[in-house]
Structures are given as structure tokens and as C-alpha cells.
Amino acid sequence: MIHDGKVLGLPLVDYSNTKAAVEALSGCEEGMTAYATDDDQIGYYDGSDWQWFAAPGGSSVVEVDIDFTASASEDETVAIGSAMREVLRGRLYIDTDPGAAFSAWATFTFYNKAAMHGADAFYRTEAKLVYTELEVATTGTDANITPDDHTDFSPNDLAYILDVGDEEFIRLATIADTMVAEDTIAAHAINDGLVRVVEFSGFSLFNYEAGTDVYLRVEFASAQTVSLKMQLVLKE
């Protein structure tokens, strides 16, 4: 009950129903709000369409596989589950042995419309993707890593050891012919892969077409054959 502008008793509840039922309502006015019981999303009516957002809560992980086969550019659709999600942590890295040492700059761009025109881009950056291999096996009892080539790594980089069934993320502390990680590393065999992980955060993904997808383009300067993974930790 509302008395003198205050809610008395239990809190007010927005209109609740399935998303389809809410969107089928007629006579809605701009500013109306609702709760989608099937998707656990909160929505508001903008005068023409319902806009949906994840209810406040924890986080979830979205992973995107990006496979290049003699190509310089690949596009992916990323389902984020609502019109907007904040990126708490993003990572992009080579996730499969490319068969040889690899070092190349890539540009990746998020778009809020499926057409992926320049004006639709809302986040763009570039980073070097690197693959090398262990020149010396790790012991499992220390933090030393001896790769074939250390020149594309820097202190504070996150690295990923490709060891089937025993993959490991490690944070690098010092860089030299033998690099040192911040923590003790598990045992990994000689010639296991070592890749540089690109990290990013501090922005939101959003769709500008009343949908729940964003669109990703990853580009190299020349054609490559390499498998990438993007891991997104998104705020609910």
C-alpha cells in the first residue's frame, strides 16, 4: 500500500510474467517496467520496444572460439543474454598448438549491431598474440620457465601453458632466457606450448537493436591459420 508517498507493508512488485507475455502486452507506455520470470531479467518499455537486462547478481562466463584457416579476419556472434552486460574480465589467447612459433598483432572490435559498420563499433584494441614452446620441462616444484623464445613476453603478463589435460594460467614476474612466474608451476613436458594471454576489462557489451547479442571481429594484417579463444566474465 502507498500512503503519503511511502510504501507501507511489503515492497511493491513490478509486473511479472514470461518475456513473451510481457512483450505481447498492448497499450504499454514509455517507462513501464516488468520482470521476465523465465529469463530472470528486468525490463523497461522505451516507447516502442521492451529493453531487457540481467537482474543484479553474480557473474557468468561466456567463451567464444575463433578459428582462422588461411584468413585474415573472422566474425563471431556473442550471446550475452541481455541488452547490456559489464565485462569484469576478458581474455584472448591461442588455445591450440599452431604447429610452429607464432607472433602477430591482432585487432579485435565489438559492435552493437549485426551490420558491423564502423559507427557500430564501441570497443576496439590491438594486442600481440604469441605462441612458443618450453625448451626445458618444468619440475612442478619451482617457478622457473625456460621457453624457446621469451622476447614477446613482459613482466606482469598472464601466460597459458598448453598441456592437454593439465593446462595452467601463470602470471609472469621477471623476463629473461629463463622467466620466473609469481607462483610455483605444475610439471609440464618439454615442447608444451606457452602462449601470451591478452587481458581487458572496464567496459560494457551492449546491443543497440533490441537484441541480446554483440558482434566480434578479430583481424590480422595478413592471412593466418590459428585457433583463438576469448573468455568473458560478465556481470549478471
90: exposed, middle or buried (Cβ count in 10 Å: 0-12, 13-18, 19+): buried
Say whether pLDDT at 5 is over 70: no
For residues 89 and 64, membership in a common domain is answered with yes
pLDDT of residue 54: 66
Say whether pLDDT at 13 is over 60: no
For residues 69 and 159, membership in a common domain is answered with yes
In percent, the amount of the chain with pLDDT more than 70 equals 92
Q: Give strand ranges (E) for 15-80.
A: 15-17, 33-36, 41-45, 50-54, 59-79
Strands 50-54 and 41-45: what pairing?
antiparallel
pLDDT of residue 44: 86
For residues 115 and 20, membership in a common domain is answered with no
For residues 121 and 196, membership in a common domain is answered with yes
In Å, what is the CA distance from 16 to each residue of 30, 48, 103? 17, 19, 52
Domain boundary among 31, 54, 77: 54
Say whether pLDDT at 187 is over 90: yes
Interatomic CA distance for residues 141 and 187, integer angstroms:
8
For residues 161 and 228, membership in a common domain is answered with yes
- For the chain, what is the domain count? 2
Nearest to 192 by CA among 122, 126, 124, 145: 145
pLDDT of residue 8: 60
In percent, the amount of the chain with pLDDT more than 90 equals 72
For residues 34 and 102, membership in a common domain is answered with no
Domain CATH for 184: 2.60.120
Q: Domain of 136?
A: 59-235
For residues 63 and 44, membership in a common domain is answered with no
Element (H, E) at 229: strand 213-235
Q: For 43-47, what is the mean pLDDT?
A: 88
For residues 173 and 86, membership in a common domain is answered with yes
Say whether pLDDT at 120 is over 60: yes
For residues 230 and 212, membership in a common domain is answered with yes
Say whether pLDDT at 56 is over 70: no
Nearest to 33 by CA among 52, 20, 18, 48: 52
pTM over 0.85: no
Lowest mean pLDDT among 2-6, 186-190, 215-219: 2-6
Which residue did the predictor score with more confidence, 23 or 149? 149
Lowest mean pLDDT among 37-51, 88-102, 161-175, 202-216: 37-51
pLDDT of residue 9: 56
Say whether pLDDT at 160 is over 70: yes
What integer best gives the mean pLDDT of the chain?
91
pLDDT of residue 36: 84
Domain boundary among 16, 36, 54: 54
Domain CATH for 38: 2.10.10
pLDDT of residue 12: 57
pLDDT of residue 51: 86
For residues 166 and 145, membership in a common domain is answered with yes
Say whether pLDDT at 1 is over 80: no
Q: Among all chains, which residue has been given the C-alpha cell 560478465?
A: 234
Say whether pLDDT at 176 is over 90: yes
For residues 31 and 67, membership in a common domain is answered with no
Q: For 76-84, what is the mean pLDDT?
A: 94
For residues 179 and 221, membership in a common domain is answered with yes
Domain boundary among 15, 39, 54: 54
Q: Among all chains, which residue has been given the C-alpha cell 613482466?
A: 155
pLDDT of residue 226: 98
